[in-house]
Amino acid sequence: MAVPGFTRGFTGRARRADPRLPPGQYDVGTDFPVLTAEVTPRVRTETWTMTVDGLVERPSTWSWDEIHALPASEYRGDIHCVTTWSKLDTSFGGVSLDVLLDAAGPLPSATHVLATSTTGYTTNLPLEDVTGGKAWIVWTHDGHPLPVQHGGPVRLLVPHLYFWKSAKWITRVTLLDHDQQGFWERNGYHDHGDPWKQERYSGD
Ligand SMILES: Nc1nc2c(c(=O)[nH]1)N[C@H]1C(S)=C(S)[C@@H](COP(=O)(O)O)O[C@H]1N2
Ligand SMILES: [Mo]
Q: What is the mean pLDDT of residues 180-204?
A: 97
With a 6 Å cutoff on the Cβ, whether 38 touches ligand 1 is yes
- What pLDDT is stored for residue 9 in this prediction? 46
Residue (of 116, 118, 123) closest to 43 by Cα position: 118
Those residues with Cβ within 8 angstroms of residue 202's Cβ, 6 or more apart along the chain or in another chain? 185, 188, 189, 190, 191
- What pLDDT is stored for residue 14 in this prediction? 55
With a 6 Å cutoff on the Cβ, whether 183 touches ligand 1 is no
- What pLDDT is stored for residue 28 in this prediction? 97
- What pLDDT is stored for residue 141 in this prediction? 98
144 class by beta-carbon count within 10 Å (0-12 exposed, 13-18 middle, 19+ buried): exposed
For residue 87, the one-letter residue type is K
Distance CA 113, CA 179 (A): 8
Please write the tens of the pLDDT for every residue from 155-191. Answer: 999 999 999 999 999 999 999 999 999 999 999 999 9
Please write the tens of the pLDDT for every residue from 100-120. Answer: 999 999 999 999 999 999 999
- What pLDDT is stored for residue 15 in this prediction? 60
Identify whether the C-beta of residue 85 lies closer than 8 Å to the C-beta of residue 33: yes
- The residue to mutate among 35, 137, 155, 169, having the most atoms of ligand 1 within 8 angstroms of its beta carbon, is 35
Q: What is the mean pLDDT of the chain?
A: 93
Residue 81 Cα to ligand 2 middle (Å): 5
- What pLDDT is stored for residue 13 in this prediction? 52
**Domains contained in the chain, CATH given:** 52-197 (3.90.420.10)
* Helix (H) or strand (E) run with residue 171 in it: strand 170-176
With a 6 Å cutoff on the Cβ, whether 85 touches ligand 1 is no
DSSP 116: E
With a 6 Å cutoff on the Cβ, whether 148 touches ligand 1 is no
**Length of the chain measured in residues:** 204
- What pLDDT is stored for residue 1 in this prediction? 37
Distance CA 151, CA 43 (A): 10
pLDDT band of residue 17 (cuts 50, 70, 90) is confident
- The residue to mutate among 38, 158, 164, having the most atoms of ligand 1 within 8 angstroms of its beta carbon, is 164
Distance CA 129, CA 110 (A): 13
DSSP 189: B
pTM to 2 decimal places = 0.93
C-alpha 172: how far from chain center: 14
Q: What is the mean pLDDT of residues 55-61?
A: 98
Distance CA 121, CA 34 (A): 15
- What pLDDT is stored for residue 4 in this prediction? 45
